[in-house]
Structure 1
Amino acid sequence: MVDSLEEYMPVEVSYTKPDGGMFIWVTLPEYLDAFDILDKAKKNGVIFVPGSEFYIDGKGKNTMRLNFTNSTESEIRKGINCLSNIIKEVL
């Protein structure tokens, strides 16, 4: 997944490079809301958890948690490409 993020995501997007685990935390520019991106992503078969779901104070609207355990490498590549195209549209 990290390889696909490096290849497709715009430079305005940052993400963790985990040493282990099953999630990658993605941070979008502050003016973006991950829920808006999720609506568009769902229509293309891509699902993630908006990061604000992990905050109790309303923060994290511009973050998302991606899981890479239930998809093939090909599916991940396709999903990250789709997600990056949606993000590029709203930048």
Structure 2
Amino acid sequence: MLRPGARPRLEVTGEVDAALVGPEVIAAVAAAAPAGADVDLSRVTFLDARGLRLVLEALDGAGTGGPGGRVLGAVPRAVRTVADAVEVPLAPGATDA
């Protein structure tokens, strides 16, 4: 769910994978938050490459050079491992779940 606001926030839950995230979803999120969105991964149980792409697109938005977003909240260990491997920016207070 993408919550609008001065700083949009994407809340992602459950398994985020190719079965759930198609190219149209990725494009819609990038278009809805062109300067990037903060992403809450605290309720994600699985993240594959397509899910990771969704997160990266949400963080960067349309690549307009805006401030970009951050990953917020307690991040499950498996998701943190993937995020760390590709250097996804985590908020200073983001902790392991």
TM-score range, shorter chain: under 0.3
Normalising to structure 1: TM-score of the pair?
0.27
Q: As a proportion of its length, which structure holds more strand?
A: 2
Normalising to structure 2: TM-score of the pair?
0.26
